[in-house]
């Protein structure tokens, strides 16, 4: 048989490339996927847009009345042209009343999509919460946010749950004065208040978040403020209606370290003052250690470890959490170079059918070749999804 040159192996007679890359998808395939996606998202949207949905579909009860929020087996998917991105794939955790829950994990692991699902702000129609429950204790009623109609959700959002985003400049409207923007939030949720009372409350909020010249800032435009001041304004807006739950998604990433510490202190003090709970998303384990009562560690759309801050920091059990702790700079440890976890997160469209961390794990055992590991409880509050803790059946749960 005649031997082919490398060129002949790779290219056909016309010089076209023969070998398709592993991630190659043909135009025909993309059209097929997008047709299928449309079918699914249209059906979900149609269900969502129904008028007069009976309360029985979305009013529920809390599993534990001490919790303000219970996320239970949440699945939020994005139907994209290259396939379904399972951004959140079976996430469960609780937020107890009056407590701060820190959510950590590598970029792209689904932290923001989890918080957007709780706010019903996932980009539709391609983004959809397809399964699971988000039980929220609204006081007189408990809502399953995953099924609550949009109209009802608009009342809950801002009134009972509010969110502080990463980049304040994109959340503040550049063409309106600060005062008008805070007034709007207050008016929206307190229709009976007089104009003067609203203004007074806005200025009071600005004072509360530590702005030195609240009357002046009230008349400023967002671009006239520093980043730290804008983030304070965002917090003032988020707290204007004394929410029961505050979701802060990387609230200080865009700020320098000293301002970061001030904002965190502020958030903690205000939380205690209005007696609410916080879901705090951050990359910064130092912030979590200082602020959080409970920690949830996510990896590739799933919770791989959760527990009290004490448990997760003093007894990190999942090899990924252990790696995260080692990659955290520490003042009492001299190291040549910070540890970094080798490898990267698997492709979100094609997740393996075994533990998603196995290919990066230096502690993998034979059992890790099995299906994705369920959560094993090490204590009432501390759970980990790893085969190394599953040696006897009684211990495993979930």
Ligand X SMILES: Nc1ncnc2c1ncn2[C@@H]1O[C@H](COP(=O)(O)OP(=O)(O)OP(=O)(O)O)[C@@H](O)[C@H]1O
Query: Which residues bind to ligand X, rule: CB under 6 A?
Result: 78, 80, 85, 87, 105, 107-113, 123, 126-127, 348
Decide whether 105 or 158 has the Cβ nearer to ligand X. 105
**Residue 138's binding partner out of ligand X, Mg ion, none, with CB under 5 to 8 Å set by partner kind:** none
Cα 44–chain centre separation: 22
Cα 224–chain centre separation: 30
Three-state secondary structure readout of 262-298: HHHHHHHHHHHHHCCEEEEECCCHHHHHHHCCEEEEE
Decide whether 109 or 355 has the Cβ nearer to ligand X. 109
Decide whether 111 or 302 has the Cβ nearer to ligand X. 111
Number of residues forming the site for Mg ion (CB under 5 A): 1
Minimum distance, C-beta of residue 103 to Mg ion, in the bound complex (Å): 10
Q: Look at strands 100-104 and 294-299 and give their pairing.
A: parallel
Q: Where are the alpha helices (DSSP H) in 49-98?
A: none
Token pair in block for residue 255? 């700020």
Regarding 112 and contact with Mg ion (CB under 5 A), the answer is yes
Token pair in block for residue 4? 């082919």
Decide whether 227 or 346 has the Cβ nearer to ligand X. 346
Minimum distance, C-beta of residue 300 to ligand X, in the bound complex (Å): 8
Minimum distance, C-beta of residue 353 to ligand X, in the bound complex (Å): 18
**Residue 80's binding partner out of ligand X, Mg ion, none, with CB under 5 to 8 Å set by partner kind:** ligand X
**Residue 113's binding partner out of Mg ion, ligand X, none, with CB under 5 to 8 Å set by partner kind:** ligand X
**Residue 348's binding partner out of Mg ion, ligand X, none, with CB under 5 to 8 Å set by partner kind:** ligand X
Minimum distance, C-beta of residue 321 to ligand X, in the bound complex (Å): 16
Decide whether 112 or 321 has the Cβ nearer to Mg ion. 112
> Cα separation of 2 and 107, whole Å?
50
Q: What is the dihedral of CA 390, 393, 396, 398, to 10 degrees?
A: 130
Q: Is 381 helix (H, G, I), strand (E, B) or coil?
A: coil
Regarding 76 and contact with Mg ion (CB under 5 A), the answer is no
Nearest to 102 by CA among 342, 290, 255, 381: 290
Minimum distance, C-beta of residue 292 to ligand X, in the bound complex (Å): 16
Note whether 287 and 280 are within 8 A (CB). yes
Query: Segment near Mg ion (CB under 5 A), from 109-117, 120-128, 131-139, 190-198?
Result: 109-117
Nearest to 375 by CA among 316, 310, 305, 299: 305
Decide whether 78 or 143 has the Cβ nearer to ligand X. 78
Decide whether 323 or 348 has the Cβ nearer to ligand X. 348
Binding site for Mg ion (CB under 5 A): 112
């Amino acid at each position: 048989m005649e031997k082919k040159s490398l060129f002949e192996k790779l290219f056909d007679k016309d010089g076209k490339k023969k070998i398709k890359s592993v991630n190659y998808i043909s135009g025909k395939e993309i059209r097929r996927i997008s047709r299928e996606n449309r079918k699914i998202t249209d059906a979900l949207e149609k269900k969502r847009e129904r008028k007069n949905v009976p309360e029985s579909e979305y009013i529920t009860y809390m599993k534990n009345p001490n919790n303000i929020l219970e996320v239970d087996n949440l699945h939020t998917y994005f139907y994209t042209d290259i396939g379904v991105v399972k951004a959140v794939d079976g996430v469960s955790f609780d937020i107890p009343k009056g407590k701060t829950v820190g959510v950590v994990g590598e970029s792209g692991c689904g932290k923001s999509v989890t918080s957007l699902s709780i706010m019903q702000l996932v980009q539709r129609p391609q983004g959809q919460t397809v399964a699971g429950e988000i039980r929220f204790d609204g006081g007189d009623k408990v809502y399953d946010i995953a099924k609550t109609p949009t109209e009802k959700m608009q009342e809950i959002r801002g009134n009972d749950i509010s969110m502080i985003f990463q980049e304040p400049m994109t959340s503040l409207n550049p063409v309106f004065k600060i005062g008008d923007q805070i007034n709007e939030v207050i008016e929206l949720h307190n229709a009976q208040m007089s104009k003067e009372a609203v203004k007074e409350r806005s200025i009071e909020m600005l004072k509360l978040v530590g702005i030195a010249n609240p009357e002046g800032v009230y008349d400023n435009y967002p671009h006239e403020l520093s980043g730290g001041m804008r983030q304070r304004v965002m917090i003032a807006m988020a707290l204007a209606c004394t929410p029961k739950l505050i979701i802060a998604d990387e609230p200080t990433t865009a700020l320098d370290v000293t301002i970061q510490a001030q904002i965190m202190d502020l958030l903690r003090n205000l939380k205690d003052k209005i007696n609410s709970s916080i879901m705090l998303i951050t990359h910064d384990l130092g912030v979590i250690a200082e602020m959080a009562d409970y920690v949830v560690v996510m990896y590739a759309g799933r919770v791989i470890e959760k527990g009290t801050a004490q448990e997760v920091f003093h007894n990190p059990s999942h090899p990924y959490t252990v790696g995260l702790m080692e990659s955290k700079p520490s003042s009492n440890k001299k190291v040549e170079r910070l540890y970094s976890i080798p490898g990267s997160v698997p492709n979100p469209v094609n997740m393996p059918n075994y533990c998603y961390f196995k290919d990066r794990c230096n502690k993998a055992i034979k059992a890790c070749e099995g299906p994705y590991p369920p959560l094993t409880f090490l204590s009432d509050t501390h759970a980990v999804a790893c085969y190394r803790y599953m040696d006897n059946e009684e211990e495993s749960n979930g």
